[in-house]
Structure 1
Amino acid sequence: MNRKIEIINTRECNITLLVGNIFLHSKYYPVKEGEKFIELNEKFYRNKDVVMVYGLGLGYHVKELLKRCNDDCKIYIFDADKEIIKIADDLGSLENIRKDKRVKVFDNYSQKFLQDFVRIAQLVDDILIYKPSVKLLSDEYIPLKNILEDYNVAKIAVERFSEVMSGNYEHNLRLKTPAIKEFFNRINVKGETVIVVAAGPSLDYNINTLKKLNGKVKVFSVGRALGTLMENEINPDMITIIDSQEGVCNQLKGYENSDIPLCFLSTASRWAVSNYNGPKYMFYNEENEDDIIINTGKTVAVATLNIAIKGGAKEIIFVGQDLGFLDNKSHAGTINDVSDDGVYKKVLSVNGSMISTNDGYMYFKRQIEKEIEENPNVRFINCSKGARIKGTVEMELEEVNTKVGDI
């Protein structure tokens, strides 16, 4: 891994590690730091029967955690960094932790390690993540870093909007709208091609070709893309919304009386759902009496994609699913809304160049790629101009139009 790791004695006469230029624990007071970390994260272990931790480090925070957990608590600890774990074991720092009967340590990084991580995560409400252990992971552990990053993105979204989502759920349930099963009876896509339209900037580039395809293939649109489509006389066969905020109303503004089916998540914006007067169908992203679960991946693009898959589509075409910024634009219909001084990542685009993106888009990209991987019997075509999407055939939308009929 070519990392320089130094063992440093601290003012407490305890040891910390300096990995490159990053300290694994406090340079001065690692024990106090561990105590403070656990004290500030009481919600992860107080009155819990199962606790999940990522990051062993030298064990300071874990030892403090063990003091505060009851005798019957099961504590699952994951850490993939074999270099640091070996140093910690050689120093004897983890001996008492490994001997504790409440603890099971997962430190053998493999596909099974990742599977166990996902499995155990389903047993807990939240994961206590020791961030320095994640920060120090090398590129060898990209799949794990992605899982941890995705977990944090999803958790932040839920924590931020949990109260309004709860209110939306109660309101939407009272509406007694038909469920997604009824939508599938109304709009049959079994064995057909479905175009899934997102609101990325390349939608502007494809809009004229999309007009030629209108009525020839089914078009499923995310809410934010609706205005662009309707302004260009493209009537989608379905609109999807999952976001919980009142501002989602703006996505449907001016089209509240249209006859386009609106498919909405049970926790979606109650204001948008109430204002829409066309046909409405509610879906769930967890077990329900309908027995149809729509995976949202915390993004409306994945929800729309999964609805097409659950409906039985044989071929799904992505339009406007850019997962990055094109020509300083984040969405269709905008002009230079991406600042030059922002902090961005780079991702390989369909034309082989590197474009700017961010953590949120990369999270969405992985969720879409997961859907693709889990549905090998469906053909996926990417006609967007942004990031490459693993598992798709890249094609110009004009080629699709040529296949469907004369231009």
Structure 2
Amino acid sequence: MSLYNDNIKFLKENYPYVKWDEEHELESNVHEICAINDRKNNVMLGVKVDNHIWSFGSCYDAEMAAEHWVNQFENVNYRTIFIIVGVGNGIYIRKLAEKYPENYIIVCEPDMELFVAYLETQNMKRDFSGKIFLAAGENADALYIELMYQVINYDNKKEIKYEILPNYQNVNEQLVLLYRKKYRDCVSRVIIKRNTIVVDEQTRAENQLRNMFYFYKKFSIGQLYDATEKITHQNRAAIVVAAGPSLDKNITELKKAQNKAFIIVVDTALKTVIKAGVKPDLAIMIDPEKDPSLFENEVIKNIPLCVSIYGNYRIISKHKGEVFFPTGESNLTEALMKKYNKGIYTVPTGGSVANNAFSIVGFMGFGTIILIGQDLAYPNGQIHTAEAYDDEKGIEASNSKYFEVEDIYGGKVYTESNMDSYRKWYEEQININPQIRVIDATEGGAKINGTEIMTLKEAISLTCENQDDIDYRSLIKPTETMFNEEQQEEIEQYFINIESQLSKLKKVLKDQEINYIQLEKMEIRNQQNESKYKRLVEKTSKTAKKLEENELMDFLQLYQNIVEYRVLDNMNDDQDKTLTESIKAAKGGKMICQTYIENIDTVKVKWHQLLIENHLIEE
């Protein structure tokens, strides 16, 4: 067992995030695993299925077969990322890393038995060298999802090489199908996020610029997390109230949980909750175009509110209660936090405000999360709780964008792609956070796998009745803003200086535009080997890094996401075979620089006006 022990040591040193108990005993043996030697005496693993042995490599020459497998990948470039399901003998992973040492490789082994067999028979240190991420062990499922969301974005989604290890599907067909579905869900969510950003671009830009003048005077969501450390909250419940139509069924029960559970309510559900006599402990609003009429009620205006830097500034500017911002949503907010050694906090989201609410109470440490109003579908064709919007019409089920999914009663209910994406996000978070008990007390809507389904009355009886009362509103009330008065004055001076900093940035961008123009000309002339070309590439790379690290680039990107995505689409377009990757990159870089330069003048005018409106400079 010395090989096994050596592998465990390597695993712990190089992949500490993989949960692994070397004394773990498998509960059952699903596979009949065999060790086979090829003709060159390489030890291979195989699995016997229906009297047939499926080996994870060629019985003639495993090395040669692995090399042929690696050679199948075409159009590999510096942006290519490999996602491989199955470890097998490790030989395929090793050959892939040897041929593409600079590319990232995500290796997932969801089958515990096969991974144990690998550790017992193969040399992990030999196979796992290079830029290899591993999803395996007791948290393989969660790591697979987490690693994909770290590396997959709109830029590289077409550069992903997703592959199943040879013969692995014959051994683990259901696992292969499940993990392929998780991959496709990830890519789908990336596309949905891109479409949302493009549609809301102008509004998001306006909100971020204006909200910067509120951000530094308000509170951080980190202060929420700190506040709940004062109580033993692991045994207490938080209730996330969304605005689905089923909320009308059980809203009257919610009052019984007041002060027994922590109640966070999404913006569109606030009217319904207030009408029922419930006092939320926290509200949340992140939508750039959220209807301000939802916050006209004076009671609602005084509820502590979590927001986004991109949230509707008209609501944020008029809110009278405490306002809590994430601090890592933009380069500029992050830069301010780093300057003053403050905590940087973001909120994982599946795209909906209720997803954000779920993440917040999870980070606050509540051991049980109860979902209500979380239909994620349109039961009886309804869209929201009745109090949300006056005269709201239901859906037209005949529209092709709607499709049926399983509901909590075992029947069918209509939903659409974005809502189904939110549902899948919940299922992923439940897998990633097994320590949190999630109860679906919506009493309607789409089924969220991994939740306990019960009525709200049952959920409150089970989790709240024996709890002492806590005044959560007082508990989460901060004693000071995230920046003190002296720091606020320094930040205001920094804001005043931004105009001159943008002028300097414009000059750097013009220089970079010239770099890209020259690169494009040299690429077309095929002068890559000249020393002048190499010096130009180095100069362009250094300037690109300098620009990337400038926090004010955030402002310039506000009005150009659609341009940037178009450039990425062009770079991923294989229609024009005459354009090399380098020419596409030079053309795209030039296009983005030109747009940034135009945006600087737009941003400077808007920022100057905001400085006047906020009385930092005179007109």
Q: TM-score, normalised by structure 1?
A: 0.67
Q: 2:221 aligns with which of 175, 180, 189?
A: 180
Judged with a 3 Å threshold, the aligned counterparts in structure 2 of structure 1 residues 108 and 327 are, in CA distance, closer, same or farther, namely same
Judged with a 3 Å threshold, the aligned counterparts in structure 2 of structure 1 residues 256 and 277 are, in CA distance, closer, same or farther, namely farther
Residue 269 of structure 2 corresponds to 225
* C-alpha distance after superposition, 1:174-222 (max 9, x if no partner): 2121111233455667332111100011100011111333343221011
Judged with a 3 Å threshold, the aligned counterparts in structure 2 of structure 1 residues 374 and 275 are, in CA distance, closer, same or farther, namely same
1:101 Cα deviation after fit: 7.5
User: Is 1:196–1:317's contact at 8 Å kept on the other side of the alignment?
Assistant: yes
Which is higher, the Rg of structure 1 or of structure 2? 2
Judged with a 3 Å threshold, the aligned counterparts in structure 2 of structure 1 residues 284 and 360 are, in CA distance, closer, same or farther, namely farther
Residue 402 of structure 1 corresponds to 461
1:369 Cα deviation after fit: 1.8
User: Is 2:397–2:414's contact at 8 Å kept on the other side of the alignment?
Assistant: no
Q: Aligned ranges for residues 274-285 of structure 1 at < 5 Å? A: 274-284=317-327
Q: 2:344 aligns with which of 291, 304, 312?
A: 291
Q: Aligned ranges for residues 2-401 of structure 1 at < 5 Å? A: 74-76=78-80, 115=144, 118=147, 122=151, 126-127=155-156, 129=158, 141-175=180-214, 176-184=217-225, 190-191=233-234, 192-245=236-289, 247-255=290-298, 258-284=301-327, 286=329, 289-333=342-386, 337-343=394-400, 344-384=402-442, 385-401=444-460
AA aligned opposite 2:304: P
User: Is 1:77–1:103's contact at 8 Å kept on the other side of the alignment?
Assistant: no
- Structure whose residues are more often strand by fraction: 1
User: Is 2:308–2:325's contact at 8 Å kept on the other side of the alignment?
Assistant: yes
Secondary structure (helix, strand or coil) at the match of 1:195 reads strand
Judged with a 3 Å threshold, the aligned counterparts in structure 2 of structure 1 residues 299 and 107 are, in CA distance, closer, same or farther, namely closer
* C-alpha distance after superposition, 1:236-276 (max 9, x if no partner): 1000111112x332322223764310011222111111121
1:290 Cα deviation after fit: 2.1
* C-alpha distance after superposition, 1:48-80 (max 9, x if no partner): xxxxxxxxxx99xx76xx8xxxxxx61416699
Partners in 2 of 1:259 and 1:227 — Cα distance?
Answer: 13
Moved more, 259-268 or 207-216: 207-216
Judged with a 3 Å threshold, the aligned counterparts in structure 2 of structure 1 residues 183 and 105 are, in CA distance, closer, same or farther, namely closer
Judged with a 3 Å threshold, the aligned counterparts in structure 2 of structure 1 residues 103 and 329 are, in CA distance, closer, same or farther, namely same
Partners in 2 of 1:120 and 1:231 — Cα distance?
Answer: 39
Judged with a 3 Å threshold, the aligned counterparts in structure 2 of structure 1 residues 109 and 211 are, in CA distance, closer, same or farther, namely closer
User: Is 2:148–2:186's contact at 8 Å kept on the other side of the alignment?
Assistant: no
Once superposed, what is the RMSD of the aligned Cα atoms? 3.8
Residue 28 of structure 1 corresponds to none
User: Is 1:78–1:117's contact at 8 Å kept on the other side of the alignment?
Assistant: no
Partners in 1 of 2:424 and 2:414 — Cα distance?
Answer: 16
1:402 Cα deviation after fit: 3.0
Partners in 2 of 1:117 and 1:213 — Cα distance?
Answer: 34
Secondary structure (helix, strand or coil) at the match of 1:181 reads helix
Secondary structure (helix, strand or coil) at the match of 1:327 reads helix
1:228 Cα deviation after fit: 0.7
Judged with a 3 Å threshold, the aligned counterparts in structure 2 of structure 1 residues 373 and 251 are, in CA distance, closer, same or farther, namely farther
User: Is 2:79–2:156's contact at 8 Å kept on the other side of the alignment?
Assistant: no
Percent of aligned positions that are identical = 23
Partners in 1 of 2:221 and 2:320 — Cα distance?
Answer: 17
How many residues align? The count is: 321
Moved more, 232-241 or 366-375: 366-375
User: Is 1:329–1:336's contact at 8 Å kept on the other side of the alignment?
Assistant: yes
Partners in 2 of 1:263 and 1:221 — Cα distance?
Answer: 10
* C-alpha distance after superposition, 1:308-344 (max 9, x if no partner): 0111111110001111111111211176511132222
AA aligned opposite 1:166: A
User: Is 1:223–1:241's contact at 8 Å kept on the other side of the alignment?
Assistant: yes
Residue 3 of structure 1 corresponds to none
Judged with a 3 Å threshold, the aligned counterparts in structure 2 of structure 1 residues 397 and 282 are, in CA distance, closer, same or farther, namely same
- Structure whose residues are more often helix by fraction: 2
1:115 Cα deviation after fit: 4.5
User: Is 2:210–2:313's contact at 8 Å kept on the other side of the alignment?
Assistant: yes
Secondary structure (helix, strand or coil) at the match of 1:209 reads helix
Partners in 1 of 2:219 and 2:403 — Cα distance?
Answer: 42
* C-alpha distance after superposition, 1:346-389 (max 9, x if no partner): 21111111111110111101112222222221111110121111
User: Is 2:106–2:147's contact at 8 Å kept on the other side of the alignment?
Assistant: no
